[in-house]
């Protein structure tokens, strides 16, 4: 049959069943229809930003509070009172009735029922005449409830729980529980593998997943001490004896969030926020190093080099993890025109310092991301983001997928390291596919064989990260999944990641953390906050490339987070 005669799926049906596609793919007509759908839900309803409520869902609430970036998918059935935090998903055929409260980041599998009400069962009258009761269901943050699960009235499911498919949950489950069965029973703590507590030393020979889980237990147990070690009584330092720095404070926030799900205990959350927000220069929106004058800017109003470039990332993400944001826009980015940006891009040192060029784009694009998070006070000049991606897409080398030129003395080092910085802040952060992903994999794997940077005892955090992230990004774009053989050069990628993962785990220093790496690059080989923050993220990327990141029990949410930000909706690319 001619493919033009095949029936097509209506966009409403497609979005109903795949609502995560709506924000990126919906037409203006579909967006208008969805807005009307949300306005007509009835009851006392409030729906957050970037939400989706399926046309085919039966949603008849008394009270509905749907947090930002949440959705109710096809044929769900919702009545009574439903409240959710941000990033919650009710997948197709989910039932939520009675009183149901979900935290942040909750995933409800298809055909699952949350029944926050009950019938009395007294023998003096038929069941259909019995009064209803409702104690309600409460689900914490970061919870995954699988498909075909039933949760009965009165149950509380703690933070970070995972409920296996087909379970019937009749009793409360404490935080970090992995449960399954009918009735649901605790299988293990999500932070563990197996049914016993593991010793607090990394490594081991009882399976790669167990080794990762034991490593995660070790670093989690020692995290508070490592942060205290790098606190001089008034500021954070990268390591004892080093000078206080902005990045050290931000690294401390990232490590505490990753391993302890809290702010570092040396200050309370409000004090962390006040210290970091006070660093921003009011005239430029940039953040100088501690004790230094505000950085000078170029003719277009944005900084050209120096610590302030990275502080756009480190301070912005640290505040984001603390539930805050930069108090004012980054001025040179909000005021820059598309033509000024193109002129700046053309003038970057692509031939001699591709890393420097990529770092500048990373900072500019991240500043744009933060500015767009403050629409009441900051806007980008129309067309600048489109100019950025248009310029990059048309300048990528089709043979490597990268920007810049290799060097006869340094090989691909500048190009590959610059590629990571460039794509991290632009394509990855805004959820835009990178050009020529298969050629990128070729180029990165070729670079990973350069013994000058990947020989025994020569690997530092930057060089490993700058290979691991492009491989992760391109693998996902090409449709692969961690550890599988379903994407381009999967076996080679997995073998490289396995070797790097084993080597990285062995470099942890008890009570001190990770060193950045050998030589004089970065902060050097001594363990400190920068090395620890970077290697923890690298280990997650490597573990995900081999399909075992779940064993770690953590997922980066800051500078090295795998998911894009929320700036994609501001783009209008062809």
Catalytic residue, candidates 119, 235, 249, 447: 119
In this structure, what DSSP letter does residue 328 have? Answer: S
Which pairing describes strands 118-119 and 132-133: parallel, antiparallel, or unpaired?
antiparallel
Nearest to 316 by CA among 42, 559, 79: 559
Q: Is 130 exposed, middle or buried (0-12, 13-18, 19+ CB in 10 A)?
A: middle
- Please tell me the distance from the alpha carbon of residue 256 to that of residue 511, in angstroms, as a whole number: 15
75 is catalytic: no
CA–CA gap between residue 219 and residue 449 (Å, rounded): 30
Residue 516 CA to residue 532 CA, distance in Å, equals 7
- Determine whether 15 is exposed, middle or buried from the number of CB atoms within 10 Å of its CB (0-12, 13-18, 19+): buried
Phi then psi for residue 102, to 5 deg, are -110, 145
Q: Using CA of residue 234, residue 266, residue 86, residue 574, what is the dihedral sign?
A: positive
Give how far the C-alpha of residue 346 lies from the chain's centroid of Cα atoms, to the nearest Å: 31
Q: Among 376, 373, 303, which Cα is nearest to 336's?
A: 303
**What's the Cα-to-Cα distance from 401 to each of 310, 419, 478, rounded to whole Å?**
24, 9, 14
Q: Which of 243, 321, 235, 326 is nearest to 286 (CA)?
A: 326
> Could you tell me if 545 and 410 are in contact, meaning their C-beta atoms sit under 8 angstroms apart?
no
Contact of 361 with 429, CB cutoff 8 Å: no
Alpha carbons 476 and 102: distance in angstroms, whole number: 29
| Selection from 99, 102, 44 nearest residue 72 by Cα | 102
Instruction: Please list, residue by residue across 223-236, b when 16 or more beta carbons sit within 10 angstroms of its beta carbon and e when fewer do.
Output: bbebbebbbeeebb
d(CA 216, CA 552): 5
The alpha-carbon radius of gyration of the chain (Å, integer) is: 25
> Rounded to whole angstroms, how far apart are CA atoms 183 and 175?
18
Number of C-beta neighbours around residue 388 at 10 A? 24
Residue 526's closest CA among 551, 507, 553? 507
Active site residues: 119
């Amino acid at each position: 049959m001619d493919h033009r005669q095949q029936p097509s799926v209506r966009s409403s049906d497609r979005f109903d069943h795949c609502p995560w596609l709506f924000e990126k793919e919906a037409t203006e007509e579909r967006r208008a229809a969805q807005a009307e759908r949300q306005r007509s839900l009835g009851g006392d309803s409030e729906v957050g930003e970037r939400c989706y409520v399926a046309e085919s869902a039966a949603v008849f609430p008394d009270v509905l509070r749907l947090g930002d970036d949440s959705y109710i998918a096809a044929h769900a059935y919702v009545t009574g009172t439903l409240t959710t935090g941000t990033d919650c998903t009710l997948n197709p055929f989910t039932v939520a009735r009675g009183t149901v409260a979900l935290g942040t980041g909750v995933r409800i599998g298809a055909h699952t029922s949350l029944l926050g009400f009950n019938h009395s069962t007294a023998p003096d009258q038929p069941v259909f005449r019995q009064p209803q009761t409702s104690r309600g269901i409460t689900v914490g943050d970061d919870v995954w409830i699988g498909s075909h699960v039933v949760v009965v009235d009165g149950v509380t499911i703690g933070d970070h729980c995972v409920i296996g498919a087909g379970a019937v949950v009749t009793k409360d489950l404490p935080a970090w529980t992995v449960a399954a069965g009918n009735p649901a029973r605790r299988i293990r703590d999500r932070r563990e593998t197996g049914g016993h507590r593991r010793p607090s030393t990394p490594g081991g020979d009882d399976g790669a997943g167990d080794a990762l889980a034991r490593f995660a237990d070790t670093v989690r147990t020692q995290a508070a001490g490592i942060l205290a070690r790098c606190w001089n009584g008034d500021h954070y330092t990268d390591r004892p004896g080093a000078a206080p720095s902005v990045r050290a404070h931000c690294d401390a926030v990232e490590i505490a969030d990753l391993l302890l799900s809290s702010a570092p205990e040396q200050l309370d959350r409000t004090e962390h926020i006040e210290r970091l927000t006070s660093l921003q220069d009011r005239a430029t929106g940039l953040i100088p190093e501690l004790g230094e004058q505000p950085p000078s800017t170029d003719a277009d109003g944005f900084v050209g080099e120096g610590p302030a470039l990275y502080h756009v990332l480190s301070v912005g993400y640290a505040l984001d993890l603390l539930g805050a944001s930069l108090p004012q826009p980054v001025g040179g980015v909000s005021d820059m025109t598309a033509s000024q940006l193109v002129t700046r891009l053309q003038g970057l040192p692509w031939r001699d310092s591709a890393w420097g060029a990529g770092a500048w784009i990373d900072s500019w694009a991240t500043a744009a991301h933060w500015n767009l998070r403050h629409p009441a006070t900051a806007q980008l000049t129309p067309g600048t983001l489109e100019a950025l991606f248009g310029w990059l897409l048309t300048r990528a080398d089709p043979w490597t997928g990268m920007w810049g030129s290799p060097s006869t003395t340094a090989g691909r080092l500048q190009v590959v390291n610059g590629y990571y910085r460039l794509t991290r802040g632009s394509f990855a952060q805004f959820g835009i596919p990178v050009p020529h992903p298969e050629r990128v994999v070729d180029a990165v794997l070729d670079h990973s064989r350069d013994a000058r940077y990947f020989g025994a005892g020569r690997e530092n955090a930057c060089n490993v990260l700058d290979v691991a992230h492009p491989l992760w990004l391109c693998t996902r774009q090409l449709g692969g999944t961690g550890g599988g053989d379903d994407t381009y050069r999967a076996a080679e990628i997995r073998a490289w990641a396995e070797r790097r993962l084993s080597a990285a785990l062995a470099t942890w220093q008890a009570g001190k953390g990770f060193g950045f790496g050998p030589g004089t690059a970065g902060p050097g080989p001594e363990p400190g906050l920068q090395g620890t923050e970077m290697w923890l993220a690298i280990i997650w990327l490597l573990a995900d490339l081999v399909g075992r990141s779940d064993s770690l029990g953590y997922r980066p949410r800051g500078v090295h987070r795998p998911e894009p930000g929320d700036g994609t909706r501001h783009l209008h690319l062809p």
